[in-house]
Copies of this chain bind each other. A is one copy, B any other.
Amino acid sequence: MNNNNSLDYKALFLGPNSENSNAFSEILNSLFQDHVYWRKNFHPEDPDVITSNVKNNENFKYTLEKMKSVFDDMSKRLRENATPWHSPRYLGHMNSETLVPGLLGYFGAMLYNLNNVAYESSEPTSVMEKEVGEDFCKLMEYPKGWGHICADGSIANYEAIWYARNLKSLPFAIEEVEPELVKGKSKWELLNMPIEDIINILELSNNKMDILKSHSARSLATEIQDLGVWLVPETKHYSWLKAADILGIGTHNLIPIKLDNHYRMNLTELKNTIDSYISKGTPILGLVAVVGTTEEGAVDYVDKILELKNQYAKNGINFYFHIDAAYGGYARSIFLDENYNFIDKNDLKNKFAENNIFYNKDLNWPSEDIYNAFKAMKYADSITIDPHKMGYIPYSAGGIVIKDKRMRDSISYFASYVFEKGVKVPALLGAFIMEGSKSGAAAASVWAAHRVLPLNVTGYGKLIGASIEGAYNLYDYISNKKYFTVNDKKVYVEPLTIPDFNMVDFVLNVEGNKDLNSLNKLNEDLYNLSSIFSPDIYSNGFVTSHTDFSMADYSDSPLDILQRLNVPKEEWDKVKNLTLLRACVLSPFLNDPEVFKEYIPKVESNIIRKLSLLVK
């Protein structure tokens, strides 16, 4: 070992063939024994409660056997029908095997069962969660930020609206309670105050904070309805619909923005939408950009959206800006050097080479758009980031990070019994989040992974790079393949777009077919033969996922790929839906040309075998 050592993430997965099972087992048992002896040594003078007398009891033995048979049943059920995320043959949902630090971090801490909502009940794991929050802030370049783990990305997205809604309603509360602070402002100006100005006033009014808040949206339902619309790209995750419903702004105020050919939010559409609401006197409550859409892996033009936002600000139009990077958030680590500085565009290739990010030194990623989008993320008010997606952490671990920790005051609650007084604590989590109990083990899981793999190009960046390169390998393979020959027919395969990130959507069509229903059926049928529900998973050599683009959700965005598949526009106008196959390449092994060469021909032969059942 020496200072020149760099991390090899292959040591951090159990492996497709359980290659690292011995190391796993060793740490597993060591964590368990540590816990066992901790119990024994808390007052070693205390006698056993479960004595050998008790253990010799027939009922005790019966209970033990019953428990064993339950676990036998559980293990059988899991092995029969669980999805084989671990295999490079799995190219579907955003899943792969998870990091050993994530798995064993969870297990090791679960034995102590700490509740991170209250510091008193979770000293060690609360400190770990604080450190994870700091990691998120470094990742996003939020020097004054704050972050935490939550149940999942949907909850994080709800929190974003919660912040936006309560903050944006405060100017009216200020007008009522401390009118001199917003003296002379019109209603429109109050509705359009910059988030930072609102936070500053909230901080200044510290001794009146509770009164202010009691006049805000949190206290009065009537304060919500005038706050305006919440803008999201058409690629939005469905949690945004639920969010608008749950947070009381209403789904009618959730306005989808059309996409461009890259499945990124169309900037002209965005500007036109904002202008049209403003001209009607409706304010913009907030705007969401997505970094890593769940269906396409698309990355919105964060930098250009911010330019637009800044232009509006000059005209007194201000809104909350959130980035839904539940999927793509961890990818920012590839852009940070070992000191967490965003790497200059001109140095990127060298840094990647230095850290062995890509096997293919000429891999053409990131494009300028992607680079600029990731770079600009630090200007958002808040960002959703899910460890249980590209953090390779087991469920459930979502997360959110906010740019300015003072924002928390707008949503805080204190319950005397969970928040002890006079104790130096890192953060009274329960006061600032939606949950009222939360697993300390989830924090330990993320913490352990972050401690081994820092959130920069020397750590997670390598893993993210592997995933992206695997996706590009697959994209190149599909692009070059062009068609499969099946029962003497050509079945064309067409990728949706060049990947912004690590997802490859593609569509199959039989040569000469112009019927969209038939096309959809072919892809649906192939999916059915390649899903976890297909018969005999053991003989199923390729498992994937699928998705649907409907006109209601996607407007005419699918026309581009349909044209490439020779399906006429009239078909789209009639059928209004396109079924795609969707491969999130999370496997950290398909970047290796040797592994790719081993596995992808197997995948191909399985696709052809299945297609031969469908294309006669």
A437 and B388 in contact (CB under 8 A), knowing A17-B39, A41-B538, A80-B124? yes
Flag whether A434 is at the interface (Cβ < 8 A): yes
- For window 1-48 of chain A, which residues contact chain B by CB distance below 8 Å? 1, 5-21, 23-25, 27-32, 34-43, 46-48
Contact present for B452 and A66 (CB under 8 Å): yes
Question: B8, B10, B78, B582: which contacts A109 (Cβ < 8 A)?
Answer: B78
Contact between A396 and B112, CB atoms less than 8 A apart: no
Indicate whether A479 reaches chain B with its CB closer than 8 angstroms: no
**Known pairs A124-B77, A151-B151, A434-B246; A17 contacts B66 (CB<8 A):** no
- Tell whether A74 pairs with B108 under 8 Å between CB atoms, given A67-B11, A85-B113, A154-B436: yes
Interface string of A31-73 (1 = CB under 8 A from B): 1101111111111001111110011011111111111101101
| Residues B59 and A7 in contact, CB atoms below 8 Å apart | yes
Q: Is A147 an interface residue (CB 8 A)?
A: no
Q: How far is the CB of A386 from chain B (nearest CB, A)?
A: 7
Q: Identify the closest chain B residue to A57 (Cβ).
A: B8
Complex Cα distance, B441 from A395, in Å, reads: 8
**Given A83-B121, A120-B531, A31 and B95 contact (CB-CB distance below 8 Å):** no
Question: Contact: B151 with A15, CB < 8 Å?
Answer: no
CA of A343 to CA of B246 in the docked complex: distance in angstroms? Answer: 39
Q: Specify which chain B residues have a CB less than 8 angstroms from the CB of A434 in the assembled complex.
A: 154-155, 158, 242, 246
CA distance A345 to B538 in the complex (A): 54
Partner of A78, one of B71, B74, B124, B242: B124
13 additional A-B pairs beyond A11-B61, A39-B86, beta carbons within 8 Å, are A6-B62, A8-B62, A19-B55, A25-B32, A38-B82, A77-B124, A78-B125, A93-B118, A95-B113, A120-B532, A123-B532, A153-B436, A395-B438
Binds B, one of A171-179, A187-195, A215-223, A346-354: A215-223
- A330: B residues at CB distance < 8 A: none
Complex interface: chain B residues within 8 A of A95 (CB): 113, 115, 121
Which residues on B sit within 8 Å (CB–CB) of A205? none
Binds B, one of A262-270, A272-280, A299-307, A543-551: A543-551
A71 to B121, CA, bound (A): 21
Chain B residues with Cβ below 8 Å from A17 are 39-40, 46-50
**Interface-located stretch among A313-321, A442-450, A470-478, A509-517:** A442-450
The verdict on A253 contacting chain B, using a C-beta distance below 8 Å, is yes
A18 touches B40 (CB 8 A): yes
- For this complex, 19 residue pairs linking A to B, each with C-beta atoms less than 8 Å apart, are A6-B62, A8-B54, A10-B54, A12-B67, A17-B50, A19-B51, A27-B71, A29-B29, A34-B78, A39-B84, A46-B598, A77-B128, A78-B125, A107-B107, A155-B155, A214-B251, A221-B248, A245-B413, A247-B248
Q: Which residues of B are found within 8 Å of A9, using beta-carbon distances?
A: 63
> Which B-chain residue is minimally distant from A88 (CB atoms)?
B49
Count identical subunits in the complex: 2
Contact B151 A435 (CB under 8 A): yes
B447 near A74 with CB under 8 A, answer yes
**Which B residues lie within 8 Å of A447 (CB)?**
74
Complex-state Cα separation, A326 to B19, whole angstroms: 43
Complexed CA–CA distance, A405 and B593 (Å): 51
Are A153 and B437 interface neighbours, CB within 8 A? yes
List residues of chain B with CB within 8 A of the CB of A127.
77
A403 vs B566: C-alpha distance when bound (angstroms)? 52
Contact partners of A398 in chain B: CB under 8 A: 437
Residues of chain B with a CB closer than 8 A to A18's CB: 35-37, 39-40
- B-chain residues with CB within 8 Å of residue A65 when the two chains form the complex: 1
Any B CB within 8 A of the CB of A152: yes
**Shortest CB–CB separation between residue A154 and chain B, in angstroms?**
3
A62 vs B5: C-alpha distance when bound (angstroms):
7
A209 within 8 Å of B by Cβ?
A: no
**Contact A250 to B219, CB < 8 A, known contacts A59-B6, A415-B238:** yes
Q: Give the residue of B58, B121, B151 whose beta carbon is less than 8 angstroms from that of A396.
A: B151
Q: Which of A98-106, A133-141, A486-494 contacts B (4 or more CB under 8 A)?
A: A98-106
A219's contact among B24, B82, B109, B251, by CB below 8 Å, is which? Answer: B251
CB distance from A510 to the nearest CB of B (A): 22
